[in-house]
Amino acid sequence: MITGSLSPNTELDDVMEAARTFLKPWTWKHGSAIDAVHDWFRTRFSVQTVASFCSGRMAATAILTSFAIGDGDEVLMQAFTCVAVPNSVLWSGARPVYVDIDASGNIAVHDAEKKLTNKTKAIIVQHTFGVAADIQTLAAFCKKNNLILIEDCAHSLGVKVDGKLLGTFGDAAFFSFGRDKVLSSVWGGVAIIKNIHKNESQKLLAFEKTLPLPSMVWIAIQILHPVLFAISMPLYRVGIGKVMIAGFKLLRLITLPIYLTELTGGMPKELKNRYPNALATLVRIQLKKLDRYTSMRDKTSRGYIKILSKKKKIQTFETPFGATYLRFPILVRDPVALTLAAKKEGILLGNWYSAVIDPKGVSFAAIAYQRGSCPRAEYFSEHIINVPTRLTLRERSFVYRFLSRHV
């Protein structure tokens, strides 16, 4: 199966490293991999302060807490996102305020201006699918209104605007190593704060130290994830692999990317932890692959653009400030029908974000979203499908043929 969601970054060396790490439990919590990951971010983003956590949303919560954003404060963020983002705001004690999106799928500055109040203290700018937001205008907006600018780079590690990395425009940024992100260690996240914020940087490191490391059982399950999917995915299309994955879930050998308690704004105890060395070991290998993965995604996306430009009724995201697509988004009339057609041919299309606050089943009341407040985001969520981008040449040609016939 060709997929952009079920452990898509895993290659043979990742699987072998996971297997080796599983056999060395004394390295699961502590070791040199954590320092290597932190050093990579320090060098790449020219920052002194790097902290790591079990998830990107905990990294976001740590940043908000470090800037003393909490009870009574409001944080602007876009709709058309994952519940993990508003939850990170709620966990800090603040209230998320949802802003509609522009044609790039990112936060619309004009709507942010309308929803600004005297309680607004920060804005989280998500670079959706690796499409760069209008970060220069947003930075000016934040400066004018004395807001903290936090970049959500969960989809955009390595993406540049005018030669400058996303994650370096704001006061702080966070990244995710979830199973379907740019790089993956199944779980994990990093927070960085600009060097000028010395007091907040110290608070970030202090926050990181207050958190425990996850349990050995939880770590073991995550290490096994690449191995289990390497076994099951080649058999997915004939049905055996799908049954295997369902069995692994029943046995709790695979954790869901969103915990059920998060659908109502709750914080899972499993995520209130620091980043363990075992998962840092997995992502350390992938950090070396970032440029190659970026090149693969760019080549694939250029092909999608060429094919879809010939189809007059197809809508794709505008990219005035550049993009390296983690997934390539397309708005179609009937996303369910297209998804089923693709599955029959061996392609698992992505559904980010088929709910305006994803996934379906999120309690809007619990996360303070009012239906109808972000109409464009709601429209996008009703029509979105996304196609994988980190593909080999053979996989790329196969998906191109499918799109040419069916979209």
pLDDT digits (tens, 9 = 90+) for 20-75: 999 999 999 999 999 999 999 999 999 999 999 999 999 999 999 999 999 999 99
Euclidean distance between CA atoms 111 and 231, whole angstroms:
47
Mean pLDDT value of segment 244-272: 94
Euclidean distance between CA atoms 146 and 348, whole angstroms:
43
Instruction: For residue 329, say if its preceding peptide bond is cis, omega within 30 degrees of 0.
Output: no
CATH superfamily of 290-406: Aspartate Aminotransferase, domain 1 (3.90.1150.10)
Per-residue model confidence (pLDDT) at position 20: 97
Per-residue model confidence (pLDDT) at position 407: 82
Q: How far is CA 61 from CA 144, 174, 210, in A?
A: 24, 10, 13
Per-residue model confidence (pLDDT) at position 237: 85
Residue among 107, 110, 102 at smallest CA distance from 75: 107
Pairing of strands 81-82, 2-3: unpaired
Kindly tell me the sign of the dihedral angle through the C-alpha atoms of 20, 26, 27, 32.
negative
Euclidean distance between CA atoms 53 and 383, whole angstroms:
34
Kind and range of the H or E element at 136?
helix 135-145
Per-residue model confidence (pLDDT) at position 6: 79
26-210 maps to CATH 3.40.640.10: yes
pLDDT at 151 over 80: yes
The tokens describing 198, both together, are: 């010395």
pLDDT at 228 over 80: yes
The pLDDT-based confidence of 12 (bands split at 50, 70, 90) is: very high
Residue 255 three-state SS: coil
Residue with tokens 């802003």: 99
pLDDT digits (tens, 9 = 90+) for 104-136: 999 999 999 999 999 999 999 999 999 999 999
Per-residue model confidence (pLDDT) at position 336: 95
271 DSSP 8-state letter: G
213 DSSP 8-state letter: P
pLDDT at 200 over 80: yes
Euclidean distance between CA atoms 246 and 239, whole angstroms:
11
pLDDT at 406 over 90: no
Q: Where in the chain is the domain with CATH 3.40.640.10?
A: 26-210
Rg over alpha carbons for the chain, rounded to the nearest Å, is: 20
The pLDDT-based confidence of 315 (bands split at 50, 70, 90) is: confident
pLDDT at 2 over 80: yes
Euclidean distance between CA atoms 270 and 190, whole angstroms:
16
The pLDDT-based confidence of 310 (bands split at 50, 70, 90) is: confident
pLDDT at 175 over 90: yes
Diameter over CA atoms, the chain: 58
Per-residue model confidence (pLDDT) at position 181: 96
pLDDT at 7 over 90: no
**Total-model pTM:** 0.96
- What are the residues facing 107 on neighbouring strands? 101
- Decide: 50 and 187 in contact? Cβ < 8 Å: no
Per-residue model confidence (pLDDT) at position 197: 98
Share of the chain above pLDDT 90, in %: 93
Mean pLDDT value of segment 212-237: 94
Per-residue model confidence (pLDDT) at position 4: 87
Report CA 342 to chain centroid distance, whole Å.
Answer: 23
Average pLDDT over the chain reads 96
The pLDDT-based confidence of 352 (bands split at 50, 70, 90) is: very high
